Amino acid sequence: MAGQAERLPAQRSGTFLLGGDLPVVRLGYGAMQLTGPGVWGEPRDRGEARAVLRRAVELGVNFIDTADSYGPYVSEEIIAEALHPYGDSLVIATKAGLVRTGPGEWHSVGRPEYLRQEVEMSLRRLRLDRIDLLQLHRIDPQVPLPDQIGVLADLKNEGKIRHIGVSEVSVEEIEQVRKIAEIVSVQNLYNLANRQSEAVLDYAEREGLGFIPWFPIATGELAKPGGPLAGAAKDHGVSPAQLALAWLLRRSPVMLPIPGTSRVAHLEENVAAVEVDLTDDEYDALTKAV
Catalytic positions, written as ranges: 70
Residues 6+ apart with CB under 8 A from 2: none
Angle at 8 between CA 246 and CA 239, to 5 degrees: 30
Distance CA 10, CA 134 (A): 23
Rama region for 39: left / alpha / beta (φ>0; ψ in -120 to 50; rest): left
Cis peptide before 146 (omega within 30 of 0): no
For 93, list phi and psi in degrees, rounded to 5.
-105, 135
Cis peptide before 43 (omega within 30 of 0): no
Distance CA 122, CA 112 (A): 15
Residues 6+ apart with CB under 8 A from 261: 33, 52, 267, 270
What percent of the chain is helix, strand and coil (3-state, nearest 5)?
A: 45, 20, 35
